[in-house]
Amino acid sequence: MATTSIRINNDLYEQAKQDAFAEHRTISGQVEFWAKVGRAAIDNPDLPIDFIAESIISLAEPRGDAQPFVPASKQ
């Protein structure tokens, strides 16, 4: 992946730094995550932002850890 430098507001950088630490991401990874969530929210205005964020997070999880969905009526 190519790297590119961009300028962002220092307050935004500091918030990304704090959130990145809490979420175990790099600062650039945190900004990328926010960008993905923001883009998905713009593209899907009817979806709750928490649903969008959790969906994006789940895409990064290893598929081997996933459990198949079993409807309650089949249990």
One-letter amino acid of 73: S
Q: For the chain, give every domain's residue range.
A: 31-60
pLDDT of residue 73: 84
- State pTM to two decimals: 0.75
pLDDT at 12: 96
Which stretches of 1-75 are assigned E, i.e. beta strand? none
pLDDT tens string 1-54: 677 888 999 999 999 999 999 999 999 999 999 999 999 999 999 999 999 999
pLDDT of residue 41: 97
Residues 27 and 33: their CA atoms lie apart, in Å, by 10
Higher pLDDT, 60 or 53: 53
